[in-house]
C-alpha cells in the first residue's frame, strides 16, 4: 500500500520483492500495526515523505534473506522493525547513546519503505527481537505505541498520579505498565467518548473523563498522546508544582498562549523524540513481565486506508493491525 503523494489516498500496487543490501535483511511481514504517526505522514504533517513511500513502522516478520555483512541475525528469525530505521552512528548524539536525536536519522514508513506490504527491507542493526509470549498481531503495537509510550513514561519520572491524554494504542499499553509500577492512572479522552473511558477503567484507571474536565486529584505528571496543542496548558493546570507534562507525539498542533502562572512553580514541558535501540530492548524485556496485553483488531492489508480513516475519526479502541 503506497502513498502516491501527501494528502492522497493509499493505493494497492504490485512491486518486485526487493533484495537486501549490505547490512540489511529482507523480512516477510506477518503484521504491521497502524499508528497515528502514519496519519501524520499521509496527511502531510511530516513534510519529508517521498512520493510512493510505503507507510508502517510497527512491523513484525521473519527474516527471509541476509545482506552482506549481517552476522547477528539468521534466516527464520522473528524480528520487529520500529520507527527509527537508520542513524549515522558517528555524530555526537549517536556516540552518546542518544541516537534518537541524530540529525541524519531516517525513519521507517516515512523516508524508508515500511510495513504496509508483504515484504520490507530493514537495517539489521535496527531489528529487535520479539518476545516469544506474543503472537505476531499482539506484538506489532509494542513496536511504537509501546516503545514511545515507555520512553514517555520514563520522562514522567516517578510520578504517582499520572494523567494520560488521548487513550488509544499507546495509552492502553502505558496504563498497564504504570499500574504494574504502582502508579495511579487518570485517563483523558475526547469529550463524551464513553467507550474509551470505559476501556481505560477496565485497564485499571482510577478515573476517566473528557479532556475538557479537571481530574479529581492534582497530577504529578501528564503524558499527551493526542496531537492537540491546546491540551498542553490544560495539562499544566492539572499538575502540581514541580510536575511534568510530556508531549509524546512527533507532531502537534500549535500550543496556544497561556499565563506564565500556569507554568510557574517549576513545572516542566518536555517532548519525546523517537526512540533508541536501548529503549526497544528494555521495553520488550519488560512487557512480558507486566504482562502487557495489547487489544488489537486485525484487518487485511488492502484495508489500510480504511484503518487510517477510522483512526482519524477516533473510532478505534486499542490498536488496528494489518496482515498481508
Q: Percent of the chain, pLDDT > 90? A: 98
pLDDT digits (tens, 9 = 90+) for 112-133: 999 999 999 999 999 999 999 9
Task: Give the domain CATH number at 123.
Answer: 3.90.180.10
In this structure, are 164 and 248 located in the same domain?
yes
pLDDT digits (tens, 9 = 90+) for 138-173: 999 999 999 999 999 999 999 999 999 999 999 999
Q: Tell me the pairing of strands 219-224 and 239-247.
A: parallel
Q: Which residue in 102, 84, 86 sits closest to 94, CA to CA? A: 102
At 155 the pLDDT is 96
At 86 the pLDDT is 97
Q: Domain range holding 262?
A: 147-271
Task: Give the domain CATH number at 167.
Answer: 3.40.50.720
In this structure, are 162 and 82 located in the same domain?
no
Residue 279 within a domain: no
Residues with Cβ within 8 Å of residue 90, at least 6 apart in sequence: none
Residue 281 within a domain: no
Instruction: Report the domain count for the chain.
Output: 2
Three-state secondary-structure class, residue 176: helix
In this structure, are 135 and 152 located in the same domain?
no
At 47 the pLDDT is 85
At 49 the pLDDT is 78
CB 238 within 8 A of CB 244: no
pLDDT < 70: residue spans in the chain: none
Residue 285 within a domain: no
Amino acid at each position: 500500500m503506497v502513498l502516491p503523494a501527501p494528502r492522497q489516498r493509499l493505493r494497492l500496487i504490485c512491486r518486485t520483492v526487493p533484495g537486501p543490501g549490505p547490512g540489511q535483511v529482507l523480512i516477510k511481514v506477518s503484521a504491521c500495526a497502524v499508528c497515528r504517526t502514519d496519519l501524520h505522514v499521509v496527511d502531510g504533517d511530516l513534510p519529508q515523505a517521498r512520493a510512493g513511500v510505503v507507510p508502517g513502522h510497527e512491523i513484525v516478520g521473519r527474516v527471509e534473506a541476509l545482506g552482506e555483512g549481517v552476522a547477528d541475525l539468521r534466516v527464520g528469525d522473528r524480528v520487529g522493525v520500529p520507527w527509527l530505521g537508520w542513524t549515522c552512528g558517528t555524530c555526537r548524539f549517536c556516540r552518546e547513546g542518544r541516537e534518537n536525536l541524530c540529525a541524519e536519522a531516517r525513519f521507517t514508513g516515512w523516508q524508508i519503505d515500511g510495513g504496509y506490504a508483504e515484504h520490507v527491507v530493514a537495517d539489521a542493526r535496527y531489528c529487535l527481537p520479539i518476545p516469544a509470549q506474543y503472537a505476531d498481531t499482539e506484538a506489532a503495537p509494542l513496536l511504537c505505541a509501546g516503545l514511545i509510550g515507555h520512553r514517555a513514561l520514563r520522562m514522567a519520572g516517578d510520578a504517582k498520579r499520572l494523567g494520560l491524554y488521548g487513550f488509544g494504542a499507546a495509552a492502553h499499553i502505558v496504563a498497564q505498565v504504570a499500574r504494574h509500577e504502582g502508579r495511579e492512572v487518570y485517563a483523558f479522552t475526547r469529550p463524551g467518548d464513553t467507550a474509551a473511558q470505559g476501556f481505560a477503567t477496565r485497564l485499571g484507571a482510577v478515573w476517566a473523563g473528557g479532556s475538557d474536565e479537571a481530574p479529581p486529584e492534582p497530577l504529578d505528571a501528564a503524558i499527551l498522546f493526542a496531537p492537540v496543542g491546546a491540551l498542553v496548558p490544560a495539562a499544566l493546570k492539572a499538575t502540581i508544582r514541580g510536575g511534568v507534562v510530556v508531549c509524546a507525539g512527533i507532531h502537534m498542533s500549535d500550543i496556544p498562549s497561556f499565563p506564565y502562572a500556569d507554568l510557574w512553580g517549576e513545572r516542566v514541558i518536555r517532548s519525546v523524540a523517537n526512540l533508541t535501540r536501548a529503549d526497544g530492548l528494555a521495553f520488550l524485556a519488560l512487557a512480558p513481565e507486566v504482562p502487557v496485553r495489547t487489544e488489537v483488531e486485525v484487518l487485511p492489508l488492502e484495508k489500510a486506508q480504511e484503518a487510517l480513516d477510522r483512526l482519524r475519526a477516533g473510532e478505534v479502541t486499542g490498536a488496528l493491525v494489518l496482515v498481508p
